[in-house]
Structure 1
């Protein structure tokens, strides 16, 4: 037999082996589709699987067992996400790789982002139109507080209680938010919890004058959350770190030209994009590791996925983003 005639190798001619190889290959295809990325390679035959196995490029399975690979001093130590690497962060999520549950954002686009609301760049308060610097600063603080409650507050995330957020909004706008709070804030899926590290954030706020007595504030940001995988196997950081991109327009209104119920903070428009999430739960944020075999449609990665300075993507890894 020709040494280079690999297609006729006895192992490849075994029908049982070929069926097993094809099954394993399609599991990878489904996983890549779930993450909403173009496949980096296309499985065309069992030969590809042979090459991968021969090269030793197997998938790592990480869960709570990750702790077993740490030193005794590391086990039980409080997790800290305050350590930020100086290395450049990747612009894409790796398909698979090592996961350190004490530093879950390593090797992700959120690697060097700040913790929580500190990642939102807020301009220094300055006079805008008829609004004084003090009034602008107060309006910025209102929006900052609303985002903090919507994206980071445990009452919102874990207990699905919109009361804190609703209380920050002008009375006329509250019924709409109470009727469907999911468009304004993040609820974590029941039974899934974050690791004891702060979510990471990047983004910016801009301010301009609107109509008389109206200050318009635009925010564009991305938040990364790190879920505790528990006993679930994960292949890489994308399995437990979902990203939420938000563009939101707020208005702060004051003065007699506005009805009393419309004065204060309102949300004029908001749109969002989700990446590396489970697609079977549209109501709440669910990590990708919860659905191992989801076979949703793959979409082309867009530059705005992890960069709020870019236009909002039109597709997430599950469905279209509302306009």
Structure 2
């Protein structure tokens, strides 16, 4: 900025010098003209250059000199020039209009806002996309999108204490091959063995944590093979379940073996195993619903005592492949088992003693003791004796199964 200004001043001075030289040259020529011989003057004897020309020349020269003279810069111009000179001496550059502290602070705030929106925006976009794909996730399902969704029922958490009331009534709906649990509280229950949740093992009495864990595992194995194994449900022999029973326990295992071979009213294998006649009934899908709980404590015979209370819901259809009618059979079982100390009692390691086994069978023909469950379908004539007992809710797990047991076949409030 200073160098161009200095160059401009030098150019002005050079211009003035040229004009002065030109003026002096012109005057010198006039003087030389005036000194010539009289023969160079006009015929009247007057000078060749009139006085008015000399006066005009003097005025023009004076005006040109004044206009070409350098002007005194203003105070502001001098201040700007001085500031630029100092800035150049420090080797810096003038501050840009967007590099001042105020602009830098504004840019910092804008950057923070963009970063905040980036942090919030990504989860928000994901949430919007999920809700767009499945609006029924919104609380209350404001778009009523769950009515046709087979998996619309929310899964219930595991049962950890005895219920105090039966489950609420589900929306009336007819079970189908695609939705076999429609209209049932079991639609929100766990699938199969996932509903048998084993509690965390801990030492009790003289039994170690490992021994308690073994007792819990054996109890679950018995329940799964007796009530959820597809082979057992089709009427096959429940080999794994029988293997959990201690052969040294008087009569029990031998009795179960005999009951499976020759079922009857006094020796019905349905007291421990869930079985359907494959010539009459087929299971719908691969899933039975399960809900219940398992607890443990120290037993009387230096043992671990395990209490299990579970309800199993089976969707079934007639064996005819062309039939689309679906119903459900509900079985509740309560077991008390022990794993005794083999060093103190006659017990087989790795097996169970069954001390109690109660059951409640819902939607199975009355007074039929052939070792199979016989679901009743609306499209078929009922088999067995008509129900004469009180009306009960097979989903009510708050009832004491032992006190509510009767010798008569009752009516069901729902299936």
Range into which the TM-score falls when normalised by the shorter chain: 0.5 to 0.7
Secondary structure of 2:361's match? strand
* Whole-angstrom distance in 2 between the partners of 1:84 and 1:254: 47
The equivalent of 2:307 in structure 1 is: 218
- Whether the aligned pair in 2 keeps the contact of 1:125 and 1:137 (CA below 8 Å) is yes
The equivalent of 1:146 in structure 2 is: 222
Is the aligned partner of 1:179 residue 2:267?
Answer: no
The equivalent of 2:153 in structure 1 is: 85
CA shift, 1:144, in A, is: 0.3
* Whole-angstrom distance in 2 between the partners of 1:288 and 1:266: 34
Instruction: Work out which of the residue numbers 186, 191, 202 in structure 2 matches 1:110.
Output: 186
Alignment: residue pair count: 234
Is the aligned partner of 1:311 residue 2:390?
Answer: no
Instruction: Work out which of the residue numbers 263, 273, 278 in structure 1 matches 2:360.
Output: 273
Task: State the Cα deviation string for residues 140-168 of structure 1 (Å, max 9, x = none).
Answer: 00100110000011232214213222112
The equivalent of 1:162 in structure 2 is: 238
Unaligned 5+ segments in structure 2 are 1-148, 157-165, 261-268
1:259 to 1:220, Cα distance in 2 relative to 1, 3 A: same
The equivalent of 1:131 in structure 2 is: 207
Secondary structure of 1:118's match? helix
In angstroms, what is the RMSD of aligned CA positions?
3.1
Task: State the Cα deviation string for residues 253-288 of structure 1 (Å, max 9, x = none).
Answer: 123211145873121110111112233633211211
Q: Which has the higher helix share?
A: 2
The equivalent of 2:333 in structure 1 is: 246
- Whether the aligned pair in 1 keeps the contact of 2:365 and 2:382 (CA below 8 Å) is no
The equivalent of 1:193 in structure 2 is: 282
- Whether the aligned pair in 2 keeps the contact of 1:224 and 1:242 (CA below 8 Å) is yes
Secondary structure of 1:180's match? helix
The equivalent of 1:228 in structure 2 is: 317
Instruction: Work out which of the residue numbers 376, 385, 391 in structure 2 matches 1:301.
Output: 391
Higher RCO (CA < 8 A, seq sep 6+): 1
CA shift, 1:82, in A, is: 8.8
- Whether the aligned pair in 2 keeps the contact of 1:102 and 1:197 (CA below 8 Å) is no
1:279 to 1:155, Cα distance in 2 relative to 1, 3 A: same
- Whether the aligned pair in 2 keeps the contact of 1:254 and 1:263 (CA below 8 Å) is no
- What's the TM-score, normalizing by structure 1? 0.64
* Whole-angstrom distance in 2 between the partners of 1:213 and 1:162: 29
CA shift, 1:241, in A, is: 0.3
* Whole-angstrom distance in 2 between the partners of 1:87 and 1:255: 41
Is the aligned partner of 1:286 residue 2:374?
Answer: yes
Instruction: Work out which of the residue numbers 168, 176, 179 in structure 2 matches 1:100.
Output: 176
How do 1:16-27 residues align onto structure 2 when only pairs under 5 Å count?
Answer: none
CA shift, 1:111, in A, is: 1.5
Larger radius of gyration: 2
- Whether the aligned pair in 2 keeps the contact of 1:243 and 1:274 (CA below 8 Å) is yes
